[in-house]
Structure 1
Amino acid sequence: MLAQGLIPTGALAGVRVGISVSDSDDLPRLGLANAHAELAIGEIARAVLVAGGSLVYGGRIRPSGFTQCLLHEIHRYGRSDALTLCLAAPEHRKLSRSELDSIDRQLGSKGRVVCLDERGNHIPDILKFKPPEPEDTDEAAKAPAFSALRRLMGTITDARVLLGGNLSTFAGSMPGILEEAIIAVAGNQPLLVSAGFGGAAALAARHLGIDDLGWAPSDFPRRPDDVRIDRAVAELEEAAADSGWDPRATRLETDELGQLSASHRAGEIAALAVRGLSRALS
């Protein structure tokens, strides 16, 4: 595998990499499907794990998707505590005690589930004490819980990778990938952005000065006219200015940053992302 051939084993030992990914509305017009994004995330996860790093993901269990993709990779390549799966209150409230227990058993020693309350506090022993809770259907009430989850993840990660990201439907006050990018940039963390799948990651790449997207259609990424997205983009630019965040902090060359941003090739994306992480955090 390309990433294994270029990155020495142990290059990311002790490094916790946050994964930001969701489906993008741009995939069909790029001739891509959700399976391509899952393949890319699987390759990135594998490369991080082979290099000795661990993964942090704020996901969902139902319906299945990227969480199951990450579980597959840690079972094949993960060591102890290879994945921290963080569930916001609106997500774990959908699940029965038996469903949570099943995920916990699937992870075994290779990972852990962290369930949070609405304020982002860890709920200990949830498998033992989880009450039957109705799912909160008030979308406005969910937004603070998702924001709290993302702030918590910002405190337990050393770097973040962005890929895809839905801009038309999202749970929270803004698209989750943009909020996670804001938190990473405000904390001056290395941020590796794959814009080739469109969505929120492409929007972040443009407004962080990583990629002008000159290779893409003029209306790329496709997005609705939504004040919440405008506000998120403004916050992202402000966070970068205030923290002095610089995409070159990864020490990837300019052509490597452009290649990472524009590529659709899973192996190439993974190799470049882990190369940048290893250089930035070595």
Structure 2
Amino acid sequence: MSYQEVLRNHVIVVSISESPDMGYLGLSERHLQDAMAEIARHLLALGARLSYGGDLRAGGFSELLFELVQRHRRDVEEDSPVGIKNFLAWPVHLRMPFAEIDRAAVELKGIADLVCLDENGTCMSLETRRQIQEREPSAAEWDDGLTAMRRAVRAESHAHIVLGGRVDNFKGSMPGIAEESILSLESNSPLFVLGGFGGCSRDIAETLGLADPWAPLNRAWRERATFAKFRPNSLNNGLTEAENRILAKTPHIDQAIILILKGLVGLDI
């Protein structure tokens, strides 16, 4: 390329899961998927690499990211860095036959780096994973394995974007987006909270004092009170408090993207 993209040195985590509030907001899951797609598209176009800790479900958010990267790579040089790194937590890939993991790694070559993690969040080779028989993980393995994965993703990234997020029927010790957000806040890593699609992200925004509580929803999910010790300036994302308040409430993804990019470009990375 004859130019360098403004986010070429950035590794960004985009965390998203189903929001229980979409019907309440008059929205559908498709709106959430479209929001993620637009955010990812803009980040990729500006040279960022994306990290994602998810599974490989057909029709899931991982598949959507892979499709975006595949389309994006048609317009970049052959030897440019792969656009996404998909981390598979120990309990996630432990349930999968190795043949399925191996096939996915081959199919995604040049599109995504597929990384299997062990119980401690350390990368394992495919050859090591080949020796492990698939089985159903225990509850403790879910809790510890998901936390280890989230720590590994956090360690390799420069900023974190969260939107949506389930607050019940989740795997692990707390809602995934909550744990990822706490890890970012505790490490002073830039965090962008999009609460306009409800869910865990909206609850976090409210607890941080960025949005007024929704009267019908006063959810008390595990560890929510932990966020009360942080303040809007704890987000450390290059935006003013007023801008973070807008980001925490807007349902307009174009407005959210403008704010995210403004914050990222202003960070010293």
TM-score range, shorter chain: 0.7 to 0.9
1:258 to 226, 245, 259: 245
Residue 77 of structure 1 aligns to a residue whose secondary structure is helix
Aligned to 2:76: none
Residue 29 of structure 1 aligns to a residue whose secondary structure is coil
Q: As a proportion of its length, which structure holds more helix?
A: 1
1:233 to 224, 240, 253: 224
Letter paired with 2:211: D
Aligned to 2:31: 36
The answer to whether structure 1 residue 116 and structure 2 residue 117 are counterparts is yes
Deviation at 1:9, TM superposition (A): 6.3
Between the aligned partners of 1:281 and 1:208, the Cα distance in structure 2 is 24
Residue 19 of structure 1 aligns to a residue whose secondary structure is strand
Please provide the CA RMSD for this pair.
2.3
Deviation at 1:253, TM superposition (A): 4.1
Residue 123 of structure 2 aligns to a residue whose secondary structure is coil
Deviation at 1:170, TM superposition (A): 0.8
Between the aligned partners of 1:269 and 1:39, the Cα distance in structure 2 is 13
Counterpart contact for 1:42–1:70, Cα < 8 Å: yes
Structure 2 stretches lacking a partner, 5+ long: 74-79
Between the aligned partners of 1:127 and 1:275, the Cα distance in structure 2 is 42
Deviation at 1:118, TM superposition (A): 1.4
Deviation at 1:266, TM superposition (A): 2.9
Between the aligned partners of 1:280 and 1:24, the Cα distance in structure 2 is 29
The answer to whether structure 1 residue 74 and structure 2 residue 62 are counterparts is no
Residues 30-71 of structure 1: per-residue CA shift (max 9 Å, x gap): 111111111111111111111111111100113541101111
Residue 246 of structure 1 aligns to a residue whose secondary structure is helix
Between the aligned partners of 1:128 and 1:254, the Cα distance in structure 2 is 45
Counterpart contact for 1:170–1:176, Cα < 8 Å: yes
Aligned to 1:132: 133
Residue 114 of structure 1 aligns to a residue whose secondary structure is strand
Aligned to 1:274: 261
Deviation at 1:246, TM superposition (A): 2.8
Letter paired with 2:86: L
Residues 10-49 of structure 1: per-residue CA shift (max 9 Å, x gap): 1211111011111011111111111111111111111111
Between the aligned partners of 1:59 and 1:130, the Cα distance in structure 2 is 22
Residue 181 of structure 1 aligns to a residue whose secondary structure is helix
Residues 130-155 of structure 1: per-residue CA shift (max 9 Å, x gap): 4332122x324310110111111111
Question: How do residues 38-53 of structure 1 correspond to structure 2 at under 5 angstroms?
Answer: 38-53=33-48
Aligned to 1:219: 216
Deviation at 1:264, TM superposition (A): 2.0
Aligned length: 261
Counterpart contact for 2:233–2:241, Cα < 8 Å: no
Aligned to 1:159: 159
Identity of aligned residues (%): 30
Residue 86 of structure 1 aligns to a residue whose secondary structure is strand
Counterpart contact for 1:16–1:55, Cα < 8 Å: yes
Comparing 165-174 and 257-266, the one that deviates more: 257-266
Aligned to 1:90: 91
Counterpart contact for 2:117–2:124, Cα < 8 Å: yes
The alignment's TM-score, normalised by the length of structure 2, stands at 0.88
Q: Residues 135 and 262 of structure 1: is their aligned pair in 2 closer, same or farther, counting only changes over 3 Å? A: same
Residue 24 of structure 2 aligns to a residue whose secondary structure is helix
Counterpart contact for 1:44–1:274, Cα < 8 Å: no
Between the aligned partners of 2:195 and 2:166, the Cα distance in structure 1 is 13
Letter paired with 1:34: E
Deviation at 1:255, TM superposition (A): 4.3
Residue 28 of structure 1 aligns to a residue whose secondary structure is coil
Higher relative contact order (CA 8 A, sep 6+): 1
Between the aligned partners of 1:272 and 1:114, the Cα distance in structure 2 is 31
Aligned to 1:148: 148
Deviation at 1:117, TM superposition (A): 1.2
Structure 1 stretches lacking a partner, 5+ long: 1-7
Q: Residues 270 and 94 of structure 1: is their aligned pair in 2 closer, same or farther, counting only changes over 3 Å? A: farther
